[in-house]
Structures are given as structure tokens and as C-alpha cells.
């Protein structure tokens, strides 16, 4: 815990929120509070002491920075209030009082969103929800006065579409702190699109399930990435996949439904008639692949398209199959 022992008097309006009352406070006697929250940059006697009477509005210490807390030692408090004729203060055995400075927090995510909004529609960038912002360094939340309202206002913004770098300065007129010292951020921003990636390592030859996949954001300029999760479900990996790396079409293949040397049905179709006979696949393939198959009757290899597990069509894909065992002419 950071101790705050600076005691520069500053006159300002403050609000104190006590942690709880004491028997002494209920009896009307001055009593030390264990913890307080103030909304101003000074701590008054009335913030620290219940039943402080006429001395309650006297400032005695500088408050911590916005959104932070500090501890003031009990002996320092007693020394600071001694000139104001408060006697018989019940210190409740406390060694210090924790003082918290109230604030409104503007998170790093809010800052990022505001930058995307400012860039949206300008210099070739699209909607704000599709703009990803990357800061040059870790960004801490901004702490402003709790009563400060409204969105961050752009004082200055530059963006280079070639390098994707931005430089932005924000103000908030309702915050004296931020208005006095505007916030400055630099980094890169680019338009992105959704991309499909695996959530965990996946070995080669595995058929992907929806539970294996997540959506990540990738630069719009990246070519060949898979953007539709449904297009990846059921596909088989050509090689090992690593988490969070966007999938490309070349990473996936359709699952094989015919293996080499499988016994298959060869389907011949001619105008007005469809014939089937037994064959043996000469290679493996997926739905829609063209492979060779040995006609076990004629011992001739024909070329056809896999139309279903164990079925290969020679010629046009049949609309009706007649399994009569006849030989083609």
C-alpha cells in the first residue's frame, strides 16, 4: 500500500464516505475513521474524524491522485488537527487511515474504441468495429473526476495509410485534469476481417469440429484466409495446426471417403439408362475428387468422380441408380 503523507492545505469541496460508525461517534464524541473516500484533491478534518464540529471543513492533507489510495498515519492526523481544538478523539487503536480518491475510469479498451471511431470512414478505413488498434506501449486507464461526463474529444489526429501509424491527442472538457493535460497516444491501426483459427493444437489428418475453432481478427489485406467457420467444419487438416494462426484454404482438404484399394460401385450413365458394377479404387479421394477405378469384370481402369462413400460416377453424375448388375456395351 502506498502511503500518502503530503499535507499541503488546499481549499476545495469534498465528500467523505465513512466505512462505518463507532460507539464514540454515536455518542457525539470525535472518533477517527478507518477508511474514507474523497472526491476532491484535499482531505478535510471532517473526512477523517466523525463529529468534528466546526473544524470539519478545514483542509489538512492533499488527497491521493485520482483513482488511487494512500494511508495517513494516526499521529500525523492528531498533529494536524491539534491547532483546531479537537480533544478527546477516539482513535479506536488505529495506526493509520486509508484515504481513497474517487474517480471515473476510462479503460484502455474505451480508448481503443474511441480511436477506431475517430478513424472510421477516413483514409480508406471502414467501420469502427472492423478497425484494430495496437498501441506502441502498454496503455493504462485514464482516471478523471467522478463527475466528468462525455466521450473523449479528439484535439488532433494524424494517420498514415501506408505505414498504418496513428498519432492522436484526446481532451475531455468536463475533466479539469484531462483538460489541463490532454492524453497522447501513438500506434498502428488497420482494417481487419474475421478469420477462422484453431483454439488448440490440431494434428495432421484430423477432421475439424466447430468446438476446435475460434474467430480471430486479421488484416483485410491478407489473402486466402478462411473467413467462414462453416467452411472449415468437417474439413481435414493437411498438416499440424497451431492455435490462433488463421487458417488458409491450403491448410485444409475434404475428408477422404474412398481409400486406395477399396471396393467401390462404378456408376455408368447414358441417356435413359444407368448401370452399376463392381470396381476397385486405384487411389484415395474425397467427395468430388476424380480418381481411377479398376472394373473387376473387364480388368480395365476407368476414371470417375467420387459421388458418395464407395461410389464413383463415370460420365455425368447420375440422378437415378439402377443396380441391375448389367455390363456396359
Flag whether 280 is in a domain.
Answer: yes
Mark whether 187 and 198 lie in a shared domain: no
Flag whether 320 is in a domain.
Answer: no
The pLDDT value given to residue 112: 96
Percent pLDDT > 70 in the chain is: 88
CA distances from 108 to 68, 101, 112, 113 (A): 17, 20, 6, 9
Q: Is pLDDT at 328 greater than 90 in this prediction?
A: no
Q: Mean pLDDT throughout 1-21?
A: 35
The pLDDT value given to residue 288: 86
pLDDT-derived band at 27 (thresholds 50, 70, 90) equals low
Mark whether 111 and 159 lie in a shared domain: yes
**Cβ-Cβ contacts under 8 Å for 23 (sequence gap 6 or more):** none
Flag whether 128 is in a domain.
Answer: yes
pLDDT-derived band at 8 (thresholds 50, 70, 90) equals very low
pLDDT-derived band at 124 (thresholds 50, 70, 90) equals confident
Q: Is pLDDT at 133 greater than 90 in this prediction?
A: yes
Question: pTM surpassing 0.75?
Answer: no
Mark whether 270 and 238 lie in a shared domain: no
CA distances from 147 to 102, 134, 142, 150, 175 (A): 10, 29, 14, 10, 8
Flag whether 34 is in a domain.
Answer: yes
Taking only the tens place, the pLDDT of each residue in 143-202 is: 999 999 999 999 999 999 899 999 999 999 999 999 999 999 999 999 999 999 999 999
The pLDDT value given to residue 254: 87
The pLDDT value given to residue 13: 30
Q: Which residues, listed in sequence order, are joined to residue 213 by a DSSP beta bridge? A: 198
| CATH number, domain with residue 303 | 2.30.30.760
Mean pLDDT of the chain: 86
Domains: count for the chain: 4
Q: Is pLDDT at 209 greater than 60 in this prediction?
A: yes
Domain stops at, among 236, 253, 270: 253
Mark whether 209 and 168 lie in a shared domain: no
The pLDDT value given to residue 316: 53
Q: Mean pLDDT throughout 97-108?
A: 96
3-state secondary structure of 220: coil
Percent pLDDT > 90 in the chain is: 67
Mark whether 248 and 265 lie in a shared domain: no
The pLDDT value given to residue 101: 96
CA distances from 226 to 214, 215, 247, 256, 266 (A): 11, 10, 6, 20, 34
Here the cell at position 173 is 472538457
Domain stops at, among 140, 172, 192: 192
Domain housing 66:
23-102
Q: Please give the residue that has the higher pLDDT: either 222 or 14.
A: 222
Q: Mean pLDDT throughout 64-79?
A: 94
The pLDDT value given to residue 14: 32
Flag whether 123 is in a domain.
Answer: yes
Taking only the tens place, the pLDDT of each residue in 271-324 is: 888 888 899 999 988 888 899 999 998 999 999 998 999 999 997 544 444 343
Amino acid at each position: 500500500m502506498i502511503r500518502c503523507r503530503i499535507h499541503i492545505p488546499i481549499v476545495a469541496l469534498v465528500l467523505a464516505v465513512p466505512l462505518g460508525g463507532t460507539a464514540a461517534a454515536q455518542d457525539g464524541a470525535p472518533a477517527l475513521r478507518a477508511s474514507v473516500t474523497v472526491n476532491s484533491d484535499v482531505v478535510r478534518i471532517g473526512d477523517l474524524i466523525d463529529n468534528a464540529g466546526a473544524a470539519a471543513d478545514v483542509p489538512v492533507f492533499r488527497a491521493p491522485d485520482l483513482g488511487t489510495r494512500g494511508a495517513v498515519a494516526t499521529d500525523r492526523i492528531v498533529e494536524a488537527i491539534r491547532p483546531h481544538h479537537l480533544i478527546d478523539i477516539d482513535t479506536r487503536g488505529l495506526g493509520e487511515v486509508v484515504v481513497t480518491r474517487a474517480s471515473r475510469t476510462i479503460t484502455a479498451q474505451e480508448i481503443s474504441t474511441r480511436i477506431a471511431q475517430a478513424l472510421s470512414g477516413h483514409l480508406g478505413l471502414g467501420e469502427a468495429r472492423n478497425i484494430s488498434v495496437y498501441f506502441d506501449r502498454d496503455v493504462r486507464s485514464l482516471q478523471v473526476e467522478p463527475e466528468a461526463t462525455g466521450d473523449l474529444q479528439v484535439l488532433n489526429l494524424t494517420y498514415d495509410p501506408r505505414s498504418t501509424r496513428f498519432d492522436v491527442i484526446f481532451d475531455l472538457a468536463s475533466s479539469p485534469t484531462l483538460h489541463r493535460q490532454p492524453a497522447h497516444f501513438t500506434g498502428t491501426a488497420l482494417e481487419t476481417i474475421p478469420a477462422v483459427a484453431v483454439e488448440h493444437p490440431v494434428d495432421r489428418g484430423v477432421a475439424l469440429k466447430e468446438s476446435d475453432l475460434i474467430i480471430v481478427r486479421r488484416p483485410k489485406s491478407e489473402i486466402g484466409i478462411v473467413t467462414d467457420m462453416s467452411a472449415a467444419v468437417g474439413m481435414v487438416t493437411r498438416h499440424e495446426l497451431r492455435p490462433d494462426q488463421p487458417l488458409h484454404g491450403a491448410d485444409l482438404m475434404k475428408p477422404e471417403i474412398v481409400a486406395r484399394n477399396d471396393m467401390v460401385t462404378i456408376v455408368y450413365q447414358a441417356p435413359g439408362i444407368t448401370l452399376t458394377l463392381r470396381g476397385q479404387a486405384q487411389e484415395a479421394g474425397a467427395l468430388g475428387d476424380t480418381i481411377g477405378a479398376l472394373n473387376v469384370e473387364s480388368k480395365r481402369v476407368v476414371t470417375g468422380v467420387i459421388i458418395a462413400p464407395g461410389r464413383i460416377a463415370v460420365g455425368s453424375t447420375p440422378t437415378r441408380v439402377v443396380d441391375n448388375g448389367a455390363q456396359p456395351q
